[in-house]
Amino acid sequence: MERIIVCTALLFALVLPARVSAQDGSTLDGFSVTLGRVGCLGMCPDYEVSILGNGKVRYQGHSYVRVKGIRESSIPMVDVQKLVERLENEHFFQWDGKGDLCVDYPQVHITVSLRGQRKRVVEGCLSPGKILALADEIDRISGTKRWVQITGPDSCR
């Protein structure tokens, strides 16, 4: 009898953490973040990259990039979770979208869907701040560097 209790307790100890982890992972269902960098009048990279809640990455290069077309990859779930934490900690859904557009500057668009909320922010003048910092983080996490070749001046990024 004691052996059955010990085995049952051991079984619960092994199964329960797996269920908790699966539930924690399921909170990322419906999560996506899309970064779009829209080119300027010069040779600024023009592409879009999305990260999904399951770690899938989808890139589409348009112009002034190393790789045109669609590429797909994946990133570790821990990176997705860190990105979600950052968005929550920085209160992304309360950010202003700026909306200012400047002549001959690339635009940065970031759209996030998380827990039933959806928000899009735009930065069109390359003003330092949260939007560009987040865009750089999305690029880093998604690994766009392998597909994007900066052919224009450094001011494009």
**More confident of the two residues 130 and 101:** 130
What average pLDDT does this structure show over 83-91?
96
- What is the C-alpha to C-alpha distance for residues 144 and 106, in angstroms, rounded to an integer? 17
Contacts of 14 (CB under 8 A, 6+ apart): none
pLDDT in tens, 111-133: 999 999 999 999 988 888 899 99
Q: What backbone torsions phi and psi does residue 63 show, to the nearest 5 degrees?
A: -150, 155
Q: What is the spatial distance between Cα 10 and Cα 32, in angstroms, rounded to a whole number?
A: 37
Q: Which helix (H) or strand (E) holds 15?
A: helix 2-26
pLDDT of the residue at 104: 81
Which one has a higher pLDDT value, 54 or 40? 54
Confidence of residue 18 (pLDDT cuts 50, 70, 90): very low
CATH superfamily name and code, 31-156: Mago nashi (3.30.1560.10)
- Does residue 32 have a pLDDT over 90? yes
- pLDDT higher at 99 or 8: 99
Backbone angles phi, psi at 97, to 5 degrees: -90, 5
Percent above pLDDT 90 for the chain: 60
Residue 99 contacts residue 122 (beta carbons within 8 Å): yes
pTM for this entry: 0.78
* Beta strands at 98-101 and 117-124: parallel, antiparallel or unpaired: parallel
Stronger pLDDT, 3 or 87, i.e. the higher one = 87
List the chain domain ranges: 1-27, 31-156
Considering the chain, what is the average pLDDT of its residues? 81
pLDDT higher for 37 or 152?
A: 37
Per-residue pLDDT band at 19 (split at 50, 70, 90): very low
Strands 56-63 and 69-74: antiparallel
Q: Please say if the pLDDT value at position 17 is more than 90.
A: no
Which pLDDT score, from 0 to 100, does residue 147 have?
96
Dihedral sign computed on CA atoms, order 126, 116, 86, 26? negative
Q: Which of 157, 124, 146, 134 is nearest to 34 (CA)?
A: 134
